[in-house]
Amino acid sequence: MTILSLRGIEKSYGPIQVLHGIEADVEEGEIFAIIGPNGAGKTTLFKVMTGESYANAGTVTFDGRDVTNEPPHLRTRAGMGRTFQVARVFNPIGTADNVITAIESRKRAQGVRDAPWWAIRPSVTTSEEAMQLLDGVGLADKAAMVASELSHGDRKRLEIAMTLAGRPRILMMDEPTAGMSSADREQIGALIRRVMAAGAGDGRRMTVVMTEHDMSVIFGLASRILVMNQGRRIALGAVEEIRNDPQVRDVYLGKEDQRLEEPA
Amino acid sequence: MSTALAERHTGREQALSRVQINRALIALAALIVLLMPFLVNSGLLYLVGVTLVLAVYSVGWNVLFSWAGLASFGSGGLFCIGAYVAALAIRAGWGEHFLPVIALATLAGALVALLVGLVALRRMSGIFLAILTLSLAELLRHVLMRVRWLGSEDGIPNITRPVLSFGFFDIDLSSGSAYYWFLCVASAILLGICWWLAHGPFGRRLLAVRHDIERASFIGIDVHRSRLVAFVVSGAIAGCAGALYAPWAQIVTPDLAGMVKSTQPILFTLLGGLHSFWGPVVGAFAFMAIDYFTRTLIGIQEVITGGILLVVILVFRSGIAGGWNALLDGALARRGLDRALARQEAR
């Protein structure tokens, strides 16, 4: 079943066209990676998917509804979670408060009232859920810290916990392991697999869309890969197909480049 | 500010005792404010009453600034609208229904803020919003100066303090101290509402928007709506404070919409403590004290005020409240350390 579908996406910044008629379907339950050299339009395409920028032409359909012109908060409420290349969390407030704010936002959008209208503190169920989410990403012992005191990797974990607080059906991850140590990178990869295994609730499977530079991460995680170059889709397929695609080798990586080889 | 959970976990003893000390201080200050009519002459009482109203008005502004991250430089315009609504209503003989009049002034402030916010907030923030709000307040001042029906430049004088009528009984607020206590009660209620808004789920949403607007929208917060609501709430508080002010000052003039009124909450917040709920209150009374004690030093009063402001902002970037909290934390930490050392030696 297709959960996110792009039809004829065009995007220009002024006179410069950065996306040329992109077509792609993301299937529920897969890890869908977008790769391409710098300036290929990955980030722009990603932003069109999340609602940070709108396509000039074409349609974005998410979970059966046309979201082409919907702003991010509505897509989030419809089940889209997003993490940033450099983790973005609410720095000056507590780690747990970050997650609590996200849970409260979801409950508000869903009309769930588990605290009286005059309550100042978050409800007990909200606090407990926050601790569970933090536990799930391995941050339970740091719940009391202020977010700005967390390490780079921990901030990423916190961001993932905040995103999961929205009970997403699809996780949009912009370079989830950028700038991380290899140990952190492996842990984030393992975390993504755990999130996939846990599913998206209601018996539905979780889907991940990610952009990535690091080929070892891509080949270790992705189900299918969309390869872009100069704003066009040049290939879309399973990992093996992409690895053996001569056009991908030529256009994207150069003939001598060895990065498409299986990582050691 | 909102690291509620964090504060509950880390150094529980320490955080609690700082909160306790501050609570005791706030209670003491409230008691002193309540007893003012017995302690000071009517001139000084008038000053304290004005400061109280301005403090509430500044807290309303600061909820918008420190929580939603929006700097309005035209809040004086909304204060002025509230004051004129109350003055006109009392002149029209509605004084005995003063509570509905206050509600009307509050609504007027909220409505104008809503209209401005609908137009301005979608596209503007930062310096553009500041200039726009400043210009609108100036525009209002110039219009008021030209409307003869509203007293032109002289404004509306001789506003009588109302006698509240509740059918069975009346509350006479015409004496200075009676109206002063009425101001105290109204301020307490308004501060309570602001506290509740700032520290509850709404405040957490606003903080999220201020800290990272994109992250906030990606946890499903409608950023524009949250900002608009904060703008309207701040406008309502300003309108309400204006309505409370009119019978206390007994005159309203177009100057209420001027630069001075609009920059007061900004100065109070900077002096008292940025990103602190009680900061503007501390700042308002600190300003009043400075003004009062330098009142005979004509000519250098402004220099002294400016100098103190500069020193406080340079030394304590988070104002008096922030400096005080840091001092208190330091003292408490030292005491905690001494105790721990003593315990170790005893072993």
pLDDT digits (tens, 9 = 90+) for B227-279: 999 999 999 999 999 999 999 999 999 999 998 889 999 999 999 988 899 99
Alpha-carbon torsion (B147, B150, B154, B155), positive or negative: negative
- Residue B175: the pLDDT is 87
- Model pLDDT, residue A207: 95
Per the domain annotation, does A9 fall within a domain?
A: yes
Q: Which residues of chain B neighbour A91 with C-beta distances below 8 Å?
A: 211-212
Q: Which of residues 42-81 of B touch A (CB under 8 A)?
A: none
Report yes or no on A263 lying in a domain. Answer: no
Residue A187 domain-assigned (yes or no): yes
> Mean pLDDT of all residues in chain B?
90
Q: Is B208 on the interface with A (CB under 8 A)?
A: yes
Contacts of B208 in chain A (CB under 8 A): 90, 101, 105
Q: How far is A254 from chain B (nearest CA, A)?
A: 36
With both helix axes pointing from N to C terminus, report the angle between B75-91 and B126-146 in degrees, rounded to the nearest 10: 30
Q: How far is residue A131's CA from residue B90's CA, in Å, rounded to a whole number? A: 55
Average pLDDT on B312-334 reads 87
What residue numbers bound the domain in which A186 lies? 2-253
A interface toward B at CB cutoff 8 Å? 50, 52, 71-73, 76-77, 81-82, 84, 88-97, 100-102, 104-106, 108-109, 118-122, 127, 143-146, 162-163, 165-166
Say which residue, B272 or A38, is predicted with more confidence. Answer: B272
Could you tell me what percentage of chain A is helix, strand and coil, using 3-state DSSP and rounding each to the nearest 5? 40, 25, 35
The 8-class DSSP code of residue A238 comes to E
Q: Whole-model pTM?
A: 0.89
Q: Tell me: the pLDDT tens digits for A85-118?
A: 999 999 999 999 999 999 999 999 999 988 898 9
Q: Which pLDDT score, from 0 to 100, does residue B251 have?
A: 95
**A-chain residue closest to B210, CA distance:** A90
Q: What is the nearest CA distance from A87 to chain B, expressed in angstroms?
A: 10
Q: Are the CB atoms for B173 and B163 separated by under 8 Å?
A: yes
Nearest Cα residue to B65 out of B302, B266, B221, B306: B266
Give the best residue of B215, B225, B318 to mutate against chain A (max A CB count within 10 A).
B215
Asked if residue B57 has pLDDT above 80, the reply is yes
Q: What is the DSSP letter of B252?
A: B
Is B309's Cβ below 8 Å from some Cβ in A?
A: no
- Note the ipTM here: 0.90
What single-letter amino acid sits at A170?
I
pLDDT value of residue A177:
83
Query: CB neighbours of A209 closer than 8 A, spacing ≥ 6?
Result: A4, A26, A32, A33, A34, A46, A49, A170, A171, A172, A173
* A80 min Cα distance to partner chain B (Å): 8
The total number of structural domains in chain A stands at 1
On whether residue A241 sits in a domain, the answer given is yes
* The most confident of A156-160, A201-205, A259-263, by mean pLDDT: A156-160
A91 vs B1: CB contact, 8 Å cut-off?
Answer: no
Question: Distance from A234 to chain B by nearest Cα, in Å?
Answer: 30
How distant is the alpha carbon of residue A40 from its chain centre? 18
Looking at the DSSP bridge assignments, the partners of residue B250 are: none
Distance, in angstroms, between A114 CA and closest chain B CA?
12
Of A52, A88, A104, the CB nearest to B204: A104
Interface with A, mutate which of B2, B5, B12 (most A CBs under 10 A): B5
Residue A138's Cβ-side half-sphere holds a number of Cα atoms within 13 Å equal to 15
Q: Is B211's CB within 8 Å of A127's CB?
A: no
Residue B267's nearest CA partner among B2, B27, B48, B57 is B57
Checking if the pLDDT of A26 tops 50, the result is: yes
Write down the mean pLDDT value for chain A: 90
Binning pLDDT at 50, 70 and 90, where does residue A252 land? low
Select the residue from B122, B219, B318 to test the A interface by mutation, using most A Cβ atoms within 10 A. Answer: B219
d(CA B276, CA B325): 10
Question: Is B12 part of the contact surface with chain A (CB cutoff 8 Å)?
Answer: no
* pLDDT of B221 over the 50 cut: yes
Q: Is B222 on the interface with A (CB under 8 A)?
A: yes
Euclidean distance between CA atoms B281 and B56, whole angstroms: 7
Instruction: Report yes or no on A113 lying in a domain.
Output: yes
**Least Cα separation, residue B125 to chain A (angstroms):** 18
Residue carrying structure tokens 């810290």: A145
Provide, for chain B, the percentages of residues in helix, strand and coil under a 3-state DSSP scheme, each rounded to the nearest 5: 80, 0, 20
Element (H, E) at B170: strand B170-172
User: Does B199 reach chain A within 8 Å, measured CB to CB?
Assistant: yes
In the numeric block, which tokens belong to residue B276? 């602190």
pLDDT at A254: 59
Confidence of residue B169 (pLDDT cuts 50, 70, 90): confident
Of A92, A97, A102, the CB nearest to B4: A97
pLDDT value at B305 more than 90: no
Domains, chain B: 4-346 (1.10.3470)
Q: What is the mean pLDDT of residues B323-339?
A: 86
pLDDT over threshold 90, residue B167: no
Residue A215 maps to which CATH number? 3.40.50.300
Chain B residues touching residue A118 (CB < 8 angstroms):
196, 200
Residue type present at position B184:
C
- Model confidence band, residue A76 (pLDDT cutoffs 50, 70, 90): very high
Q: Are A62 and A78 in contact (CB under 8 A)?
A: yes
Q: Which of A50, A120, A125, A142 to mutate to test the interface with B (most CBs of B within 10 A)?
A: A120
Interface touch B199/A72, C-beta < 8 Å: no
Q: Rounded distance, CA B30 to CA B27, Å?
A: 5
Q: Among the residues of B160-300, which ranges form H helices? A: 176-199, 201-211, 213-217, 223-249, 259-272, 279-293
C-alpha–C-alpha distance, residues A33 and B262, integer Å? 52
| Contact: A106, B3; criterion CB under 8 Å | no
Provide the number of CB pairs (under 8 Å) joining chain A to chain B: 109
- Of B9, B211, B218, nearest to A144 by CB-CB distance is B9
Q: What is the pLDDT of residue B166?
A: 81
d(CA B91, CA B89): 5
- Asked if residue A189 is part of any domain, the answer here is yes
B2 has a chain A CB within 8 A of its CB: yes
Identify all chain B residues contacting A119, using CB atoms and an 8 Å cutoff: 200-201
Walk across the sheet containing A207-211 and list its strands: A80-83, A170-174, A207-211, A31-35, A224-229, A232-238
Residue A261 domain flag: no
What residue ranges in chain A does DSSP mark as E strands?
A: 2-13, 16-27, 31-35, 57-62, 65-66, 80-83, 170-174, 207-211, 224-229, 232-238
pLDDT of residue A253: 58
Whether B81 shows a pLDDT value over 70: the answer reads yes
pLDDT at residue B249 in the model = 95
Edge to edge, what strands does the sheet with A16-27 contain? A16-27, A2-13, A57-62, A65-66
Q: Do B212 and A90 touch (CB under 8 A)?
A: yes
